[in-house]
Amino acid sequence: MNINIDFDELKNLNPQTPGAWPWTAKLLACGLIFFVIVILGAVLHWQEQWDSYQLIRDEEDGLKKTFMEKKKDAINLDLMKKQLKETEESFGALLKQLPNKSEIASLLTDINQAGLGRGLLFDLFRPGTERTVKGTFAEKPIAIRVTGGYDDLGKFSSDIASLPRIVTLTQIEINLSGSKLSMDAQAKTYRYLNDKETAEQAKTAAPQGGGAQ
């Protein structure tokens, strides 16, 4: 059956008298009403399922992302273990450069000998009171004043940096003393607290922490 649509005729339809419309217009109107009903039914009836579907899709995307991150971590696990081992070895090597409690006295002697070996005169060599740094390390300051030539002072500073144990020079001040130079500085060395000392530090800090609460 051929359906010929006269659009000019459709434009002239009276919406108040649908019974008088030609059968072609009636079929189009029924089709439009059916289409609108289907759309409204989908919106009203399937909206909840659609929301659930979107929620499931979002959850699926999140799980895929988590899976890819876990997969990446698994692939890099051996590399991460290797890096961790290298870090632990580097940390262990640094700890070995820190003197223990029994080695502090010999380290002070090494600093003194480094100055004397460069022909410097010690006007001051005064070890200070040891203090704990972050509950893990102990810092030992040493106030020094040495007199000598410019080159000798520079070589002495280099010798201090080359000691097998970590020693730093801070608060350096150089003044002219006659024909010589006088250098005031504070040498600092550090040591790693042993388990007993760490436990004592924690025990001492515990009441202070409790009082703050």
Quick: pLDDT tens for 160-184. Answer: 888 877 788 999 999 987 788 999 9
pLDDT band at 68 (very low <50, low <70, confident <90, very high): confident
Question: What per-residue confidence (pLDDT) applies to 42?
Answer: 67
Least reliable range by pLDDT among 19-28, 48-57, 91-100, 176-185: 91-100
**Domain limits, the chain:** 50-96, 99-199
Residue 38: φ, ψ to 5°: -65, -45
Residue type, 105: A
pLDDT band at 96 (very low <50, low <70, confident <90, very high): low
Looking at domain 99-199, its CATH superfamily turns out to be: Ribosomal protein S6/Translation elongation factor EF1B (3.30.70.60)
Report the range out of 66-70, 118-122, 175-179 with the highest average pLDDT. 118-122
**How distant, in Å, are the alpha carbons of 96, 128, 131 from that of 192?**
9, 17, 12
Share of the chain above pLDDT 70, in %: 69
How far is Cα 64 from Cα 67, in angstroms, rounded to an integer? 5
Tokens of 68: 């890819």
Q: For residues 43 and 116, which has the higher predicted lDDT (pLDDT)?
A: 116
How far is Cα 34 from Cα 15, in angstroms, rounded to an integer? 18
How far is Cα 213 from Cα 146, in angstroms, rounded to an integer? 49
